[in-house]
Structure 1
Amino acid sequence: MIKSLGLILPALIPSWRFFSTITPSVRIEYVITQLDALTNADWQEFRPRATQLTSSAVIKRLLWNPHWNETLFLVTCAERLISAPSQHSIDEINTRLLRQLTATPRPPAPSQYLYFRLAFWERQGIELTKTIEYVSEGTPIGGAVNDL
C-alpha cells in the first residue's frame, strides 16, 4: 500500500523540478474583422483563464476537464508554430477557434475573416511583458463554417 501511495503521490503533487525550463506563457488571441482591417482591431483572448475557482470547481477540473485538455493542445500547437512552423498547427488553431466562435448565439458574419495571433507573456522582475510573436493570415469565415 505504501509503495502504491509513493507512486501516485508525485502525480497528485507535482514538483517544480518536472519543468526543465520556465518559458514565457503563450496566449492565443483572435479578432474577427474585414480582410486586412487589423489596425486598431479589438483582439480577444481565446478561452481566458478563470481568475478565481471554488474548491468544488478545482476538484471537478481534476477529474473531468475536456476544454482544458483542448486548450493545452492549442498551447502546444502555438509553441510548435513558433519553434517549427507548420500548416498543421495553423489549421488546428483555426479549426478550434472557428468551431467555438460559430457555435455562439451570435455567430460572426460569413463575409468576415478570422485572424489569430500568439502573445507571449513573460515576467521580468515584477513586471509582465507581452510580446506578439505571430499574426496569422485571414481565414474567411463563410467558407470555413461549411467545412467544420
Structure 2
Amino acid sequence: MIARTFSQLMPVLFPSWRFFMTVGPSPRVEYREKGGVWRESHPKPAHLSVGQMALRMFSNHARNTQLYAVALAERLVAAPCDHSRDELMRLVAEAHGSAGQLQFRLVFVMREGEELISEVIYTSDLFSAEAFL
C-alpha cells in the first residue's frame, strides 16, 4: 500500500524531463478585421503591478484563455481539424468581436542568429464574428 502510494507520488515530486516529445517554436495567433492590420490575438500585458501578480496566483482567466488558444493552434498545425479551427474562431470573436468579419492566422517566430524570422503557417477564411458570439 505504501509502496504504491510512493510510486504514484514520485512523478509529482520529480517530474520527467521527457514530458514533452519535442520542443520547438509555438505558433502565435494573430487576427484582423476584414482588410485590416494583423494584431496579436491574446497579447501578454506589458506591465503588471504586485497586486495584479498576487491576484493572478488565484485567478487568471486571460492567461488560461491564451494558453488554450496556443494549444488549439498547435493542434491545428499538427493535425488540422474543424474543432480546433472553430474554437480558435470562437476565441478570436469573443476577444475582438465586432459586427464585421474576422480572420486569424498562425505565425511561427524563430531566431536565426540575431534576426527574427516570421513564417505564416495557416490563414483562416474570413468568418462572421456574430456567428460565434
| TM-score for the superposition, normalised by structure 1 | 0.69
**Counterpart in the other structure of 1:138:** 126
Equivalent-residue separation in structure 2 for 1:27 and 1:53 (angstroms): 21
Letter in 2 for 1:54: S
- Gap change, CA 1:120 and 1:10, over 3 Å in 2: farther
What fraction of aligned residue pairs are identical, expressed as a percent? 37
Is residue 32 of structure 1 aligned with residue 44 of structure 2?
Answer: no
Map of 1:1-148 to 2, 5 A cutoff? Answer: 21-33=22-34, 37=35, 41-102=36-97, 108-109=98-99, 112-142=100-130, 144=131, 148=133
Count of aligned positions: 125
Equivalent-residue separation in structure 2 for 1:53 and 1:20 (angstroms): 33
5+ residue gaps, structure 2, are 1-9
- Gap change, CA 1:97 and 1:50, over 3 Å in 2: same
Contact 2:41–2:95 under 8 Å retained in 1: no
- Gap change, CA 1:87 and 1:24, over 3 Å in 2: same
- Gap change, CA 1:78 and 1:32, over 3 Å in 2: same
Letter in 2 for 1:117: R
| TM-score for the superposition, normalised by structure 2 | 0.76
5+ residue gaps, structure 1, are 1-6, 103-107
- Gap change, CA 1:66 and 1:141, over 3 Å in 2: closer
Query: Aligned-pair distance for 1:54?
Result: 2.8
**Counterpart in the other structure of 2:6:** none
Contact 2:110–2:118 under 8 Å retained in 1: yes
Equivalent-residue separation in structure 2 for 1:59 and 1:83 (angstroms): 35
The two structures, once aligned, show a CA RMSD in angstroms of 2.8
Letter in 1 for 2:33: I
- Gap change, CA 1:132 and 1:100, over 3 Å in 2: same
Equivalent-residue separation in structure 2 for 1:125 and 1:26 (angstroms): 20
Equivalent-residue separation in structure 2 for 1:60 and 1:15 (angstroms): 30
Equivalent-residue separation in structure 2 for 1:16 and 1:126 (angstroms): 29
